[in-house]
Amino acid sequence: MTRPDTSVTVVEVTTVVASTTVVFSDIDGTLIDAAYSYAQSQPAVAALLARGIPLVLCSSKTRAEQQTLRAALGIPDPFIVENGSAIFIPAGYFPFPLPSSRRVDGWQVLELGVGAASIRAALARLRRQTGLEIQGYAGLSAAQVAQATGLDLPAAARAQQREYSETIVTPLSAADLARLQRELAAQGLSIVSGGKFYTVTGAASDKGVAVARLTALFRQQWGEAITIGLGDSANDAPLLAAVDRPYLVQKPGGVWQEMPDVPARRVPARRVPSVGPLGWRQAVMAELGL
């Protein structure tokens, strides 16, 4: 069920308590623009870093993609990959053990999703059973992914390094999408639209669940935590529903995405009257009282 979004436009300025604030952010169309640039949001990223406020990236992007962006921006904090499939936490980031975590390279990983190999196998079965044309990243060369996305070759290769999901690039009719949803659900998988393409993940992969799980760790460390969330698309609805202070930035063209209703939503998202990373900067600067 959808209902009209009763969001309000950001006008007021509230200064937050830096030591107990966490920012959760979508990447594409939110932190970075359609040309994959973070030039407009970077000043606000720098302001968060200078105050030691954690910035947790939360997107459909892979670990390889997010590591590149984190390194470029100098972000040291945990991040949530592949639509809530896993939380990557730098080893020792929290001063207590993380019981259900898996150690991978220098990370403590909390996994909600299922492995990409079993997702690819399920999609291969579906292709045979249904005859549906379902083209995923795994069947494309890096050059083909680059062409479809506008990414350069190294970035396209990072986008293909999926550990918990598969990206479907085939445009789907409403009927085909509904059929895929049914067939995938029967196998414990789900498919969501990320704007340009579709992402297939384990049914338990959820941006909102991942945000809540990480928020609980910050609360365990600090005793309390104020959470800010920023997104631009329907697949950010669970993220925005899981935070105290949700912000919806505009899509190119200056429009806000109509957001699906999320039962767990606590407060309506505030609509930021600017597109993508410019709106991101305005919302974060307002939160910081800058």
**Closest CB to Mg ion among 191 and 225?**
191
How far apart are CB 249 and Mg ion at their closest, in Å? 9
What is the identity of the amino acid at 103? Answer: R
Question: Which single residue brings its beta carbon nearest to Mg ion?
Answer: 29
Catalytic residue list contains 5: no
Q: Which residues bind Mg ion (CB under 5 A)?
A: 26, 28-29, 232-233
Cβ closer to Mg ion: 34 or 285?
34
CB of 29 to Mg ion, least distance (A): 4
Residue number, 203 or 234, with CB nearest to Mg ion: 234
Give the bridge partners for 230, in sequence order.
25, 247
Structure tokens at 67: 């590591």
Query: From the CB of 2, what's the least distance to Mg ion, in Å?
Result: 18
Instruction: Give the SS3 label for residue 28.
Output: strand
Q: Are 223 and 234 in contact (CB under 8 A)?
A: no
Please identify, using beta-carbon distances, which residue of 28 and 163 lies nearer to Mg ion.
Answer: 28
> Is the Cβ of residue 40 or residue 108 nearer to Mg ion in the bound state?
40
Instruction: Look at phi and psi of residue 83 and say left if phi exceeds 0, alpha if psi is from -120 to 50, else beta.
Output: left
What b/e sequence results for 102-137 when a residue is b if at least 16 CB atoms lie within 10 Å of its CB, and e otherwise? eeeeebbbbbbbbebeebbebbeebeeeeeeebbbb
Report the residue number, 26 or 65, with the smaller CB distance to Mg ion: 26
How many C-beta neighbours within 10 Å does residue 139 have?
14
Give the DSSP H or E segment for 216.
helix 207-222
- Which candidate in 5, 26, 206, 232 is catalytic? 26
Across the chain, where does the E strand assignment appear? Answer: 21-25, 55-58, 79-81, 86-90, 102-104, 107-111, 165-168, 189-193, 198-202, 226-231, 245-250, 270-275
DSSP-derived letter for residue 223 is S
What gap in Å lies between CA 83 and CA 182, rounded to an integer?
Answer: 19
Least separation in angstroms between residue 244's CB and Mg ion is: 20
CA distance 110 to 87: 5
The CB-of-251 to Mg ion minimum distance in angstroms stands at 9
Strand partners, 198: 168, 193
Catalytic residue positions? Answer: 26
